[in-house]
A = this chain, B = another copy of it.
Amino acid sequence: MYFELFSQMKKQLGQLDKWLETATAYADSKKIESGVFGSLRLAPDQFPFARQVQITCDTAKLGAARLSGKEAPAQADTEVTLPELRARVQSVLKYLDGFAAKDFENTATRSITQPRWEGKTMTGADYMLEHVVPNFYFHLTTVYALLRHNGVAVGKRDFLGTLTQKAPAT
């Protein structure tokens, strides 16, 4: 289910891109300076909006890379404006397009680590469930909450996007 979970993250990143588009139109209509959204926070000791978008992107990018034994391209985290943040989201979408189900065949038992863990490891299965999925949705929802709190017209349907549903039998 790894590939399917990442496919869903791609869908969510596509929704994120749409929220940023809506936020851009809102900022333009209100003549809000281009860097204002990037520095919004819900609490003074919380990462600002731009960093939340960057971490959302990195959680998906680094998760897919580590769980398939690939090296992800480093990105400089220099985005400040909404168009720059949209470009970041789109770059990660393009990166994730390069993965196929077979890349995750050995994922469950793979040994995963990252620099800040000081040598500690997690299995691929635990890393996906305990770290990648919760972190991805945590930062994604924080971005959404910041937009909602600051008057951008996004709603629950914009969060989920279109569901794969079958019409009732007639």
Contacts and interface: CB of A to CB of B under 8 A. Distances in A.
Interface of A: 1, 4-5, 7-8, 11-12, 42-43, 46, 117-123, 125-126, 129-131, 133-135, 137-138, 141-142, 144-145, 148-149, 151, 156, 159-161, 163-168
A165 B8 contact: no
Contact of A12 (B43, B123, B134, B167): B134
A122 B46 contact: no
A130 B163 contact: yes
A12 B131 CA distance: 11
A4 B129 contact: yes
Given A135-B160, A137-B141, A120 B5 contact: no
Give the most central of A11, A145, A149, A161: most B CB within 10 Å. A145
Interface of chain A, helix or strand or loop or mixed? helix
Nearest to A165: B120
Given A43-B149, A43-B151, 12 more contacts: A1-B1, A4-B129, A5-B133, A12-B134, A42-B42, A117-B165, A119-B167, A130-B161, A130-B164, A134-B160, A137-B138, A145-B145
B120 A166 contact: yes
